[in-house]
């Protein structure tokens, strides 16, 4: 009975020498600044999960703990006198790492199971039984699973869209290849026709010049025959007796007279080679102007709304009869019905004409390249759009207050002039060359032309610019060739 009491009820000294974590006699005790001591192993286990003292919960750094040698000596003496051995910690998955007691509770804040002795360490936390805590965790995990299932669906959709984008890129490449080949074939046909015309002109001149010289040759050969006959006649008469020769001398002298001019190569009888091959490439290039068009601005199909249809040469746009099946790439406007120019500007002066015709609704101007594309927005200067528009028969300057513009005549062409350094974008009647309005702003970042053709079957089209070749000569060489719109 006494043995059992001694085993079950610790002596007062034994209580003082007991680690509050493992409930065994201290082994290699460590002293914290808060004056509480713990076995070295218990303290190390605690510091894996918390930087606080397991008893008073005061924060403490691991390197602040020092060896409690006095307490260690006392524990060793006690164990020798009582023949006790210190408890050894044998943690398992079902017991607390600190107290080696069954995990019977769940801490909501720390989200971990704890034993009954851990209650003092979680005094301000809400604790549940394992049977109550498990459903809570399952519910949260179920919500996470639901989120991930949605993400899986989203990722699958994105994967399909990416695959569709690959297919669309191949389609773009095929169409572009067809257009490139067709355009080069067209230009090749033009060059072939030009080549044939120039070769025919060369051949015709060659025939004319040769025919002229051939005629000269025939005439010269006839003269040679006639002159030989005359020589033979004179020689024969010279063989006569003196008296007959002298009596016929005057007549022979008249026959021996040759009045025709000396034959020679006629002036200008050779080919005018300079006319045919001189500056050939440049002359052909100048002539090609009538077969090519120059557009100061082209449309960027990767920015076009799915409700817009662009021409293959990217110079006109109109409403699509149905929503196009195209990739929803970040640059594309959707749901707003716009398309941007193919080139963004950061400096310089630029101008272009847009044919709006009799369309009842349109917007033309410039915008920041960083303009949002995936949400509806108000077209206004404070949104990064500087534009002129027509809606319900009213012309509006797209400022924040929508300034109405009174026009006496309806313009069919709108000219846009952009001067980035000066901070101006102006709008003109392209047909009359009449100024309509100018907006000012200190442009920052890249600026793009923007076009809103409205949902109409009549296209909004870019107007080709005029090509002018300016030449100045220095030492008979062309040194300057420019294109102007």
Report pLDDT digits (tens) over 345-358. Answer: 999 999 999 999 99
pLDDT band at residue 58, thresholds of 50, 70 and 90? Answer: confident
- Asked whether 68 and 85 are in contact (CB, 8 A), the reply is no
State residue 479's pLDDT score.
42
For residue 86, pLDDT beyond 80: no
pLDDT band at residue 84, thresholds of 50, 70 and 90? Answer: low
For residue 11, pLDDT beyond 80: no
In 3D, which of 113, 118, 102 has the Cα closest to residue 137? 113
State residue 337's pLDDT score.
95
State residue 273's pLDDT score.
93
State residue 477's pLDDT score.
47
State residue 93's pLDDT score.
62
As a residue count, the chain comes to 485
Q: What is the largest CA-CA distance in the chain?
A: 196
Q: Where are the domains of the chain?
A: 2-130, 159-291, 301-462
- Asked whether 384 and 340 are in contact (CB, 8 A), the reply is no
Average of per-residue pLDDT across 94-112: 85
Share of the chain above pLDDT 70, in %: 92
pLDDT band at residue 153, thresholds of 50, 70 and 90? Answer: very high
State residue 161's pLDDT score.
92
- What is d(CA 280, CA 211) in angstroms, rounded to the nearest whole number? 26
Q: Which residues contact 205 (CB under 8 A, 6 or more apart)?
A: 271, 272, 276
**CA 99 distance to own-chain centroid:** 62
Average of per-residue pLDDT across 217-237: 89
Average pLDDT, the chain: 88
For residue 15, pLDDT beyond 90: no
For residue 69, pLDDT beyond 70: yes
For residue 237, pLDDT beyond 50: yes
Q: Which residues contact 119 (CB under 8 A, 6 or more apart)?
A: 105, 127
Q: Is the previous residue joined to 335 through a cis bond, with omega within 30 degrees of 0?
A: yes
Least confident of 133-142, 197-206, 235-244: 235-244
Euclidean distance between the first and the last CA atom of the chain, given in angstroms as a whole number: 115
- What is d(CA 39, CA 32) in angstroms, rounded to the nearest whole number? 11
State residue 7's pLDDT score.
44
For residue 22, pLDDT beyond 90: no
pTM: 0.67
Higher pLDDT, 120 or 203: 203
State residue 476's pLDDT score.
47
Least confident of 4-13, 86-95, 154-163: 4-13
State residue 482's pLDDT score.
47
State residue 478's pLDDT score.
46
Query: What digits encode the pLDDT tens for the residues 406-429?
Result: 998 899 999 999 999 999 999 999
- Asked whether 366 and 418 are in contact (CB, 8 A), the reply is yes
For residue 211, pLDDT beyond 80: yes
CATH class given for the domain over 2-130: alpha beta
Share of the chain above pLDDT 90, in %: 57
Q: Which residues contact 80 (CB under 8 A, 6 or more apart)?
A: none
For residue 255, pLDDT beyond 60: yes
- What is d(CA 40, CA 245) in angstroms, rounded to the nearest whole number? 161
Angle value at C-alpha 95, between 89 and 99, nearest 5 degrees? 55
State residue 474's pLDDT score.
57
- What is d(CA 206, CA 384) in angstroms, rounded to the nearest whole number? 66
- What is d(CA 151, CA 146) in angstroms, rounded to the nearest whole number? 9
State residue 383's pLDDT score.
93
pLDDT band at residue 8, thresholds of 50, 70 and 90? Answer: very low
* R_g over Cα of the chain: 52
For residue 90, pLDDT beyond 60: no
State residue 266's pLDDT score.
85
Q: Which fold has domain 301-462?
A: Jelly Rolls (2.60.120)
State residue 239's pLDDT score.
86
- What is d(CA 122, CA 52) in angstroms, rounded to the nearest whole number? 12
- Asked whether 451 and 389 are in contact (CB, 8 A), the reply is no
- What is d(CA 464, CA 298) in angstroms, rounded to the nearest whole number? 10
- What is d(CA 451, CA 333) in angstroms, rounded to the nearest whole number? 11
State residue 31's pLDDT score.
92
- Asked whether 422 and 442 are in contact (CB, 8 A), the reply is no
Q: Which residues contact 416 (CB under 8 A, 6 or more apart)?
A: 351, 352, 353, 354, 364, 365, 366, 425, 426, 427, 428, 449
Sign for the pseudo-dihedral over CA of 6, 11, 13, 14: positive
For residue 87, pLDDT beyond 80: no
Angle value at C-alpha 376, between 375 and 379, nearest 5 degrees? 125
State residue 5's pLDDT score.
39
In 3D, which of 369, 407, 368 has the Cα closest to residue 390? 407
Higher pLDDT, 86 or 24: 24
């Amino acid at each position: 009975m006494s043995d059992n009491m001694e085993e079950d009820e610790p002596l007062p000294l034994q209580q003082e020498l007991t680690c509050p974590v493992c409930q065994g006699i201290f082994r290699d005790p460590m002293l914290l600044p808060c004056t509480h001591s713990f076995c070295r192993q218990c303290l190390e286990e605690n510091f894996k999960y918390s930087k606080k003292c397991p008893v008073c919960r005061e924060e403490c750094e691991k390197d602040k703990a020092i060896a409690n040698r006095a307490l260690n000596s006392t524990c060793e003496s006690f164990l020798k006198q009582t023949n006790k051995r210190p408890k050894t910690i044998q943690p398992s998955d079902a017991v607390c790492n600190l107290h080696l007691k069954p995990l019977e509770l769940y801490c909501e804040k720390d989200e971990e199971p704890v034993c009954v002795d851990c209650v003092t360490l979680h005094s301000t936390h809400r604790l549940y039984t394992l049977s109550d805590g498990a459903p809570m965790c399952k519910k949260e995990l179920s919500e996470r699973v639901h989120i991930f299932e949605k993400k899986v669906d989203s990722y699958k959709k994105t994967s399909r869209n990416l695959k569709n984008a690959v297919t669309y890129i191949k389609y773009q490449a095929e169409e572009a290849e067809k257009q490139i080949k067709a355009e080069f074939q067209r230009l090749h046909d033009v060059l072939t026709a030009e080549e044939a015309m120039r070769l025919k002109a060369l051949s015709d001149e060659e025939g004319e010049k040769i025919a002229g010289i051939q005629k000269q040759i025939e005439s010269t050969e006839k003269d040679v025959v006639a002159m030989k006959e005359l020589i033979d006649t004179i020689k024969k008469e010279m063989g006569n007796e003196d008296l007959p020769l002298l009596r016929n001398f005057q007549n022979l002298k008249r026959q021996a007279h040759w009045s025709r001019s000396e034959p020679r190569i006629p002036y200008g009888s050779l080919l005018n080679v300079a006319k045919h091959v001189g500056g050939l490439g440049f002359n052909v290039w100048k002539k090609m102007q009538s077969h090519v068009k120059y557009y100061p601005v082209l449309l960027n199909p990767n920015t076009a709304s799915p409700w817009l249809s662009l021409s293959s040469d990217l110079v006109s746009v109109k409403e699509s009869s149905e929503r196009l099946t195209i990739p929803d790439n970040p640059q594309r406007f959707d749901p707003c019905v716009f398309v941007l120019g193919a080139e963004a500007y950061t400096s310089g002066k630029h101008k272009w004409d847009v044919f709006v015709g009799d369309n009842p609704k349109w917007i033309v101007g410039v915008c920041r390249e960083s303009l949002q594309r995936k949400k509806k927005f108000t077209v206004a200067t404070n949104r990064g759009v500087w534009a002129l528009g027509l809606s319900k028969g009213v012309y509006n300057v797209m400022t924040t207050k929508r300034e109405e513009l009174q026009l006496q005549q309806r313009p069919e062409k709108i000219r846009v002039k952009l001067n980035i350094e000066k901070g101006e974008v102006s709008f003109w009647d392209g047909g009359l060359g009449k100024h309509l309005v100018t907006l000012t702003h200190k442009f920052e970042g890249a600026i793009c032309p923007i076009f809103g053709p409205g949902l109409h079957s009549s296209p909004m089209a870019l107007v080709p610019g005029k090509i002018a070749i300016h030449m100045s000569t220095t030492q008979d060489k062309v040194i300057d060739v420019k294109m102007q719109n």
